């Protein structure tokens, strides 16, 4: 049976595309993520102490230390220390043990509180109220906590530990997201450790904080002092109030399939159809120990066929990702196509039994400008994705062009809003995300930054940490865009902040039609901080954002002059807006808004089209703060 | 004092050391116009997008990184750089007016003012913001200031998604020239622009230079009057909007010249390619039915006088000697500056374009005059590549006061051309018709990327009359062709002084109109032609050029055939590569606008495949390269084969022995 390789899809955009290095199998979505622990009760944990309970919702005070409350219901795990004492008995261990694993969870930390997530009960990623910290240390949120040795001299008992690359924390009382890829330590037959445990990846609120970080042993206050291939996950409960939800553990550690008895055959020629091999004399052939494009010395118009044995120990569903740059590929196992027709790349999922399986991989290359290469990656039941191939690396990577805001810094660029789909041709990037075309990003040495959309007079995102990656704009021709490099909070599709409202049910306008909106630019104060100006509905608006003390967020002050009609401001739109005390609101559990001064009447939360909106009338002055 | 003296001494030593080497040759560009660096603090990235001279002699420099620098004492050995503004969006133009600087960012025209007098802008006023779709190619250029104080700004087209080769205007006014006023009004001025990177105000008239691409056969400069349509159809999408100065619709244009939006069997669009055997269409032909069309005043032949023309400036009074009052046009891809002599014939601008100065370190995007009469060149090539291999730079072109032997001007006559020289010419050479050659050609108007030169024809020369002072030669040319580019080559004309040949022996005259008037009586002219009169006499043939470097014809092997076995050497193909403009974009070893010939050799094409690719390039094979190669069917097959054989010889020599490296 033969397969036709289609002509390549030429993903050219006037030669703009940078074929950065190898077009290989992209890291796939990992094997189906495990479902979250069912937090209907505490049965997933070993002997929970009284400080742990199940709740339906959690909330924590922005201002009062260690104040966290749970509301009745299920789905949220809450820890409220009962006694002011430390002790392992207050920590929570899962009933199951893990070795290699991916962990994802949401957590909410109370003001001033301290907790931690211990992989295998031993290696801690610190959870801490690090709001306002500029240079995180090992005690800060997302850091790998230090190790501890009582036998060392005073002041040197703590050692190692790895500070987070930047502070990616949210404010206390907001939900934060943590993702960890962990690799367990390895041991030989005698139980001697042969490889250290490793944090393959740690992401806090979407920001990469650690990568391929080796840990020489358990960190301080671990549940165990020894190291083992597996252990339970531990959530620290003895240091302060914290809540968790959506805890997902994907366990790995099952044996990987192995390739043995590999041979290769190279056929010269342009094969858009798979040939009948028996009739063809190969250009070269022989046994190999490793799957790689390196055996082949032809640059183009060749077909290379690998055969061998795939030894599978763990039966189950396996997913293969194949990269065949500049051509087509086929993967067969036991003579059945797993990837029947890859064009440049492809993937396929197959149920494999345990045992020795026939492996056959074909790569036909016929697009002359592409460098030949080969990539095959696989993930399976309890098997984290790994590559079976050794890719050829012969192209230099690009140096990133990073902009730091060591002083108040402005930079205009296109700004993409991932997660916000584009509408029509206006404001669209190549991946269909909304692209703000008249964006200004404003960075501060306090490490809180925002992006302002001059087309609407709206704040489209705020973030903390490092400022901008301008590589997409300034490397080569560029696409005119830059990207925030810290912990970003986006506010959805940009829209006018101010508009007149016919009634309570007036839908908020999605564009500037009818507003005669005109941007007027900005002026800089003595510290180079901008005040934006625009005209909308005949009113002259001055719009100013200033960093709050300790970098907690921004204070926004609008001055409106000569409004022809009464104007309203939509301060926030979200799935849920909840009033707290003293003019404070929490939006979608991830942002606080505090109304400081409004000279109109009181604000209102309304629900329109399934969304909640916080709306306030504006006469001449509006001051509110965004805390995050 | 001492150090200055020794410095001067060093220069004179250097100069005298060089003189003997060049003594036998005719002088070259660099013997008259020096390219000097402008020193800047280490690490200052000057990817220049805008340059403007301030009234006090400071130089304003805007960069693609979004900075605006004020350079104090910019012609001194120690200029002082002050950052006036930063954080702007890929600035591609800068102008000064009434105490403020103005720049076009991608999405708006911005006025920058230093209100608190601390040397830095603190007010960034949006004069006018235009929509963008967010496509990378939506660059905006300008402003140039009109006599009434208005600002001319131009906008690039975007490209299609599936039809990635097709320029399109996704939002108003991409592909247009806008005229913007201080009070925020915007007047749609003209359309037909594709990549209008070059702007110039010449005596109150707005000119622009486009880049070769779809619907633009070659670069050139066009006088853009209100309501003009300059050829690229994308912007016609918006002629129905209020305020549009022209009513021409896309449908009307496509009814005249098809867009070739054809699909294959699989329903995918087919990229239009050059059709070799067709009756081509021309912009001047389309103009007969579509009077809105505005023809280039002066074509700048692609690959010769640029591949991505940029700024247009007028040479001020008293500057650059005999060329004062003429135009200079810079080019990004070829890192050079060309000179244009323009005249008005029948109410329209036309004229001649001549090479001027090559060898800048990067792509010359912008130019500005210093008060001392030198010319600043603001440079960048990021994303496009250029003959000058640096990525960016700020340099200065300085005339040393020596008079180069050049065609000062070329004027259209009812029956030919009048060539004016900068120095008296040797009468024997100038009264010999064999010293002159006139050919004409033009470019296609089609939705294909670029155009080959087509309808090439050699004109018979009937006579030449040299003025008494030896400064003007009136050449009578048979069968002048209106609208065609006339390539006037004066390889044989010698200066009286030193018997030098012209620094640049070729002028390209765009003959949009043939003037009325008195024709020259042939009895008044010399009709002597040494080539036909005395065919075999060595030494008297002007074709034997002592210092010729342009237009060198390839030496044909005996019998006119190449030996198939031996690949030609670089010296054997150099003339062909130069004549067919290959060297505008390619170098043997280095990546320039296009890939190095060595990189082509590595593809292991056959000679015939390379010839096919010369005639029908496949830019999709070279996705790392920004500028598409235009089809070159005008290259004779024998020449193409010879070039191909040479290219393929490079892969064999690769690594082992670099025998014939230039």
Instruction: Please give the average per-residue pLDDT across A415-437, as a whole number.
Output: 76
Give the integer Cα–Cα distance in Å for B183 and B205.
Answer: 22
A477 to chain B: closest CA residue: B383
Which residues are within 8 A (CB) of B248 and not within 5 positions of it... i.e. 6 or more apart?
A: B229, B236, B239, B290, B292
255-284 of A, contacting B, C-beta below 8 A: none
Q: Best interface-test mutation with B: which of A438, A467, A529 has the largest number of B CBs within 10 A?
A: A438
A522 to chain B: closest CA residue: B124
Give the integer Cα–Cα distance in Å for B172 and B138.
Answer: 11
**Residue A424 pLDDT:** 59
| Residues of chain B predicted below pLDDT 50 | 1-24, 535-564, 654-662
A432 to chain B: closest CA residue: B134
C-alpha A45: how far from chain center: 28
Q: What is the residue whose two structure tokens read 């909308």?
A: A536
Give the integer Cα–Cα distance in Å for B406 and B471.
Answer: 11
List Cα–Cα distances, B152 to A509, B139, B148, B181, B193, in angstroms.
33, 14, 11, 9, 13
Instruction: Please give the average per-residue pLDDT across A276-289, as a whole number.
Output: 89
C-alpha triplet B256, B194, A441: angle, nearest 5°:
145
**Residues B59/B63/B65/B66 CA torsion (nearest 10 deg):** 70
Question: Does residue A599 carry a pLDDT above 80?
Answer: no
**Do B623 and A519 count as a contact with CB atoms less than 8 A apart?**
no
Q: DSSP label at A30? A: P
**Residue B590 pLDDT:** 85
Task: Please give the backbone phi and psi of residue B613, each rounded to the nearest 5 degrees, phi first.
Answer: -70, -25
Give the integer Cα–Cα distance in Å for B336 and B386.
Answer: 10
616-635 of B, contacting A, C-beta below 8 A: 619-628
**A399 in contact with B at a CB cutoff of 8 Å?**
no
**Do B107 and A438 count as a contact with CB atoms less than 8 A apart?**
yes
Q: Which residues of A touch B211 (CB under 8 A)?
A: none
Residue B413, helix vs strand vs coil? strand
- The number of residues in chain B equals 662
Q: DSSP label at B661? A: -
User: For A412, which of B88, B134, B603 is closest by C-beta distance?
Assistant: B88
Q: Best interface-test mutation with B: which of A437, A529, A534 has the largest number of B CBs within 10 A?
A: A437
Q: List strand residue ranges (DSSP E) for B501-644, in order.
A: 506-510
Instruction: Give the Cβ contact number of residue B559 at 10 Å.
Output: 7
List Cα–Cα distances, A296 to A140, A265, A301, A365, B40, in angstroms.
50, 9, 11, 11, 49
Q: Does an H or E element contain B344, and which?
A: strand B336-345
> Read out DSSP for B585-613?
T--SSS-SSS--HHHHHTT---HHHHHHH
90-119 of B, contacting A, C-beta below 8 A: 90, 105-108, 110-111, 115-116
178-207 of B, contacting A, C-beta below 8 A: 184
**A97 in contact with B at a CB cutoff of 8 Å?**
no
**B424 in contact with A at a CB cutoff of 8 Å?**
no
**Would you state the structure tokens that stand for residue A24, as one six-digit string?**
């290989």
**B365 in contact with A at a CB cutoff of 8 Å?**
no
Q: Does an H or E element contain B254, and which?
A: helix B250-256
Q: Which residues of B touch A440 (CB under 8 A)?
A: 87
**Would you state the structure tokens that stand for residue B660, as one six-digit string?**
């014939």
Query: For a pLDDT cut of 70, what percent of chain A falls above it?
Result: 93
Give the integer Cα–Cα distance in Å for B46 and B596.
Answer: 26
**Residue B242 pLDDT:** 95
What band does A19 get if pLDDT is binned at 50, 70 and 90? very low
Give the integer Cα–Cα distance in Å for A545 and A527.
Answer: 13
Q: How many CB pairs under 8 A join A and B?
A: 131
pLDDT in tens, A108-161: 999 999 999 999 999 999 999 999 999 999 999 999 999 999 999 999 999 999
- The number of residues in chain A equals 628
Give the integer Cα–Cα distance in Å for A619 and B11.
Answer: 72
47-86 of B, contacting A, C-beta below 8 A: 64-66, 86
Average pLDDT, chain A: 90
**B134 in contact with A at a CB cutoff of 8 Å?**
yes
Q: Does an H or E element contain B442, and which?
A: strand B437-443
Closest to B170 measured CA to CA, from B214, B138, B213:
B138
Q: DSSP label at A600? A: S
Query: For a pLDDT cut of 90, what percent of chain A falls above it?
Result: 78
Give the integer Cα–Cα distance in Å for B605 and B641.
Answer: 12
List Cα–Cα distances, B433 to A520, B461, B525, in angstroms.
64, 7, 10
**Do A519 and B136 count as a contact with CB atoms less than 8 A apart?**
no
Give the integer Cα–Cα distance in Å for B131 and B266.
Answer: 35
pTM for the structure as a whole:
0.88
**B165 in contact with A at a CB cutoff of 8 Å?**
yes
Q: Are strands B108-113 and A92-98 parallel, antiparallel or unpaired?
A: unpaired
581-610 of B, contacting A, C-beta below 8 A: 602-604
Give the integer Cα–Cα distance in Å for A118 and A145.
Answer: 10
Give the integer Cα–Cα distance in Å for A509 and B206.
Answer: 40
**Do B126 and A520 count as a contact with CB atoms less than 8 A apart?**
yes
Give the integer Cα–Cα distance in Å for B468 and A435.
Answer: 68
Instruction: Please give the average per-residue pLDDT across A78-92, as a whole number.
Output: 90
**Do A18 and B624 count as a contact with CB atoms less than 8 A apart?**
yes
List Cα–Cα distances, A334 to A310, A311, A381, in angstroms.
9, 12, 19
Q: What is the residue whose two structure tokens read 């003579």?
A: A335
Which residues are within 8 A (CB) of B391 and not within 5 positions of it... i.e. 6 or more apart?
A: B47, B362, B380, B381, B382
Which residues are within 8 A (CB) of A307 and not within 5 positions of it... i.e. 6 or more apart?
A: A262, A263, A264, A358, A359, A360, A361
**Do B170 and A425 count as a contact with CB atoms less than 8 A apart?**
yes
Instruction: Give the Cβ contact number of residue B452 at 10 Å.
Output: 22
Q: Which residues of A touch B620 (CB under 8 A)?
A: 10, 12, 369
Residue A233, helix vs strand vs coil? strand
**Do B86 and A410 count as a contact with CB atoms less than 8 A apart?**
yes
B121 to chain A: closest CA residue: A524
**Do A299 and B604 count as a contact with CB atoms less than 8 A apart?**
yes
**B612 in contact with A at a CB cutoff of 8 Å?**
no
Counting Cα atoms < 13 Å in the Cβ hemisphere of B401 gives 1
**Do B133 and A427 count as a contact with CB atoms less than 8 A apart?**
yes
User: For A12, which of B137, B604, B620 is closest by C-beta distance?
Assistant: B620
Alpha-carbon gap: A239 to the closest alpha carbon of chain B (Å): 45
Q: Which residues of B touch A406 (CB under 8 A)?
A: none
Give the integer Cα–Cα distance in Å for B205 and A446.
Answer: 50
Give the integer Cα–Cα distance in Å for A79 and A74.
Answer: 14
Give the integer Cα–Cα distance in Å for B512 and B518.
Answer: 19
Helices and strands in chain B: count of H runs, count of E runs: 9, 34
| Burial letters B21-33, b for 16+ CB under 10 A, else e | eeeeebbebebbb
CA dihedral (B338, B344, B349, B350) positive or negative: negative
**Residue B658 pLDDT:** 36
Q: DSSP label at A352? A: E
Question: Does residue A16 carry a pLDDT above 50?
Answer: no
Give the integer Cα–Cα distance in Å for A253 and A118.
Answer: 18
**Would you state the structure tokens that stand for residue A581, as one six-digit string?**
């005390």
Which value, in Å, is the radius of gyration of the alpha carbons in chain B? 25
Alpha-carbon gap: A429 to the closest alpha carbon of chain B (Å): 7
**Would you state the structure tokens that stand for residue A222, as one six-digit string?**
């671990």
**Do A519 and B126 count as a contact with CB atoms less than 8 A apart?**
yes
- Do B327 and B312 contact (CB within 8 A), yes or no? yes
Closest to A7 measured CA to CA, from B270, B175, B128:
B270
274-313 of B, contacting A, C-beta below 8 A: none
- Do B377 and B295 contact (CB within 8 A), yes or no? no
Residue A90, helix vs strand vs coil? helix
The ipTM of this complex is 0.88
Q: Which residues of A touch B165 (CB under 8 A)?
A: 14
Q: Are strands A481-484 and A409-421 parallel, antiparallel or unpaired?
A: parallel
List Cα–Cα distances, B632 to A320, B460, B593, B635, B637, in angstroms.
46, 26, 16, 6, 11
Give the integer Cα–Cα distance in Å for B337 and B329.
Answer: 6
- Do A164 and A143 contact (CB within 8 A), yes or no? yes
**Do A454 and B133 count as a contact with CB atoms less than 8 A apart?**
no
**Do B106 and A437 count as a contact with CB atoms less than 8 A apart?**
yes
Q: Best interface-test mutation with B: which of A298, A453, A480 has the largest number of B CBs within 10 A?
A: A480
**B166 in contact with A at a CB cutoff of 8 Å?**
no
User: For B136, which of A16, A427, A526 is closest by C-beta distance?
Assistant: A16
B625 to chain A: closest CA residue: A15
**Alpha-helical regions (H) of B105-243:** none
């Amino acid at each position: 049976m033969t397969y036709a390789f289609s002509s390549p899809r030429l993903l050219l955009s006037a030669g703009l595309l940078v074929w950065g290095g190898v077009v290989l199998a992209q890291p796939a979505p990992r094997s189906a993520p495990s479902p979250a622990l069912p937090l209907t009760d505490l049965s997933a944990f070993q002997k929970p102490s009284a400080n742990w309970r199940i709740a339906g919702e959690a909330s924590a005070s922005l201002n009062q230390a260690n104040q966290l409350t749970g509301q009745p219901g299920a789905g949220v795990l809450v820890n409220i220390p009962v006694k002011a004492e430390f002790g392992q008995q207050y920590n929570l261990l899962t009933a199951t043990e893990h070795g290699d694993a991916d962990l994802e969870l949401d957590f909410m930390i109370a003001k001033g509180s301290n907790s931690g997530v211990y992989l295998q009960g031993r290696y801690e990623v610190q959870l801490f109220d690090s709001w306002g910290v500029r240079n995180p240390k090992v005690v800060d949120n997302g850091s790998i906590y230090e190790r501890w040795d009582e036998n060392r001299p005073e002041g040197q008992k703590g050692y190692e530990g790895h500070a987070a690359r930047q502070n990616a924390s949210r404010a206390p009382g907001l939900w934060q997201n943590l993702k960890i890829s962990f690799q367990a330590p390895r041991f030989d037959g005698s139980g001697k450790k042969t490889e250290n445990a490793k944090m393959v990846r740690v992401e806090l609120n979407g920001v990469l904080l650690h990568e391929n970080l080796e840990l020489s042993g358990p960190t301080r206050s671990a549940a165990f002092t020894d190291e083992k291939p597996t252990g339970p996950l531990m959530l620290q409960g003895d240091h302060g109030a914290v809540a968790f939800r959506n805890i997902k553990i994907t366990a790995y550690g099952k044996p990987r399939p192995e390739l043995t008895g590999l041979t290769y055959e190279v056929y010269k020629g342009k094969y858009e159809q798979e040939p009948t091999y028996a009739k063809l004399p190969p250009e070269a052939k022989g046994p190999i120990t490793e799957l790689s494009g390196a055996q082949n010395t032809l640059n183009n118009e060749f077909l290379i066929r690998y055969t061998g044995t795939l030894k599978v120990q763990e039966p189950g569903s396996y997913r293969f990702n194949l990269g065949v740059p500049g051509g087509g590929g086929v993967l067969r196992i036991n003579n059945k196509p797993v990837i029947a027709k890859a064009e440049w790349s492809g993937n396929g999922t197959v149920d494999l039994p345990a045992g020795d399986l026939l492996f056959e991989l074909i790569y036909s290359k016929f697009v002359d400008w592409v460098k030949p290469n080969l990539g095959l990656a696989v993930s399976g039941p309890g098997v984290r994705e790994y590559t079976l191939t050794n890719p050829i690396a012969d192209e230099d990577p690009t140096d990133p062009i990073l902009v730091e805001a060591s002083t108040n810094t402005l930079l205009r660029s296109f700004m993409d809003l991932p997660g916000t789909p584009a509408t029509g041709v206006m404001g669209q990037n190549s991946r269909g995300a909304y692209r703000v075309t008249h964006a200004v990003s404003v960075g501060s040495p306090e490490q809180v930054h925002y992006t302002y959309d001059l087309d609407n007079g709206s704040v489209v995102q705020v973030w903390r940490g490092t400022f901008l990656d301008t590589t997409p704009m300034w490397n080569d021709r560029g696409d005119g865009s830059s990207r925030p490099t810290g912990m970003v909070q986006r506010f959805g599709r940009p829209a006018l902040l101010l508009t007149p409202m016919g009634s309570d049910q007036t839908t908020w306008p999605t564009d500037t039609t009818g507003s005669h909106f005109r941007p007027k630019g900005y002026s800089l104060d003595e510290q180079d901080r901008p005040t934006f100006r625009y005209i909308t509905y005949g009113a002259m608006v001055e719009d100013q954002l200033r960093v709050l003390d300790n970098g907690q967020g921004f204070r926004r002050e609008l001055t409106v002059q000569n409004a022809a009609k009464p104007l309203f401001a939509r301060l926030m739109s979200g799935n849920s807006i909840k009033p707290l005390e003293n003019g404070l609101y929490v939006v979608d559990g991830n942002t606080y808004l505090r109304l400081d001064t409004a000279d109109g009447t009181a604000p209102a939360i309304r629900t329109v089209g399934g969304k909640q909106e916080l709306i306030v009338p504006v006469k001449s002055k509006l001051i509110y703060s965004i805390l995050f | 004092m001492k150090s200055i003296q020794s410095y001067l001494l060093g220069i004179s030593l250097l100069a005298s050391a060089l003189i003997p080497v060049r003594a036998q040759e005719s002088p070259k560009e660099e013997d008259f116009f020096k390219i000097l660096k402008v020193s800047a603090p280490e690490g200052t990235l000057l990817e220049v997008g805008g340059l403007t001279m301030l009234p006090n002699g400071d130089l304003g420099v805007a960069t693609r990184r979004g900075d605006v620098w004020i350079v104090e004492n910019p012609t001194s050995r120690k200029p002082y750089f002050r950052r006036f503004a930063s954080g702007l969006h890929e600035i591609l133009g800068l102008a000064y007016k009434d105490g403020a600087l103005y720049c076009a960012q991608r999405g708006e025209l911005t006025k920058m003012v230093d209100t608190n007098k601390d040397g830095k802008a603190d007010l960034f006023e949006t004069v006018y913001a235009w929509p963008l779709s967010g496509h990378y190619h939506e660059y905006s250029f300008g402003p140039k200031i009109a006599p009434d104080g208005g600002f001319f700004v131009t906008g690039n087209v975007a490209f299609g998604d599936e039809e990635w080769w097709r320029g399109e205007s996704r939002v108003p006014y991409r592909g247009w020239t806008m005229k913007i006023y201080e009070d925020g009004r915007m007047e749609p001025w003209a359309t037909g622009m594709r990549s209008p990177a070059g702007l110039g105000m010449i005596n109150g008239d707005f000119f622009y230079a486009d880049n070769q691409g779809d619907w633009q056969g070659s670069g050139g400069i066009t006088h853009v009057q209100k309501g003009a349509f300059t050829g690229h159809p994308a912007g016609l999408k918006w002629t129905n909007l209020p305020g549009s100065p022209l009513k021409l619709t896309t449908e009307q244009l496509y009814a005249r010249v098809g867009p070739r939006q054809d699909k294959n069997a699989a329903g995918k669009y087919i990229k239009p390619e050059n059709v070799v055997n067709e009756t081509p269409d021309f912009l001047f032909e389309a103009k007969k039915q579509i009077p809105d069309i505005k023809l280039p005043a002066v074509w700048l032949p692609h690959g010769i006088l640029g591949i991505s023309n940029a700024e247009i400036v007028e040479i001020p009074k008293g500057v650059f000697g005999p060329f004062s009052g003429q135009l200079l046009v810079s080019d990004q891809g070829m890192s050079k500056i060309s000179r244009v002599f323009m005249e008005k014939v029948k109410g329209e601008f036309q004229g001649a374009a001549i090479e001027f100065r090559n060898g800048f370190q990067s792509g010359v995007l912008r130019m500005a005059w210093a008060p001392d009469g030198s010319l600043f060149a603001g440079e960048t090539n990021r994303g496009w590549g250029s003959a000058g291999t640096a990525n960016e730079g700020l340099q200065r072109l300085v005339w040393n006061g020596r008079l180069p032997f050049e065609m000062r001007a070329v004027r259209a006559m009812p029956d030919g051309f009048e060539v004016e020289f900068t120095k008296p010419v040797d009468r024997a050479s100038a009264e010999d018709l064999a010293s002159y050659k006139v050919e004409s050609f033009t470019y296609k108007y089609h939705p294909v990327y670029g155009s080959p030169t087509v309808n090439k024809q050699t004109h018979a020369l009937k006579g030449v009359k040299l003025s008494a002072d030896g400064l003007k030669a009136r050449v009578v040319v048979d069968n002048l062709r209106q609208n065609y580019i006339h390539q006037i080559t004066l390889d044989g004309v010698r200066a009286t002084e030193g018997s030098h040949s012209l620094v640049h022996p070729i002028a390209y005259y765009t003959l949009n109109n043939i003037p009325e008037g008195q024709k020259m009586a042939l009895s008044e002219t010399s009709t002597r032609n040494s080539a036909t009169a005395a065919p075999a006499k060595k030494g008297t043939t002007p074709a034997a050029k002592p210092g010729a470097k342009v237009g060198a014809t390839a030496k044909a092997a005996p019998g006119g055939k190449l030996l198939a076995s031996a690949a030609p050497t670089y010296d054997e193909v150099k003339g062909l590569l130069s004549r067919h403009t290959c060297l505008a974009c390619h170098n043997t070893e280095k990546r320039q606008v296009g890939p190095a010939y060595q990189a082509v050799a590595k593809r292991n094409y056959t000679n015939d495949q390379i010839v096919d690719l010369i005639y029908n390039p496949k830019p999709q094979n070279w996705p790392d390269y920004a500028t598409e190669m235009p089809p070159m069917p005008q290259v004779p097959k024998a020449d193409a084969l010879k070039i191909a054989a040479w290219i393929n010889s490079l892969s064999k020599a690769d690594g082992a022995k670099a025998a014939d490296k230039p």
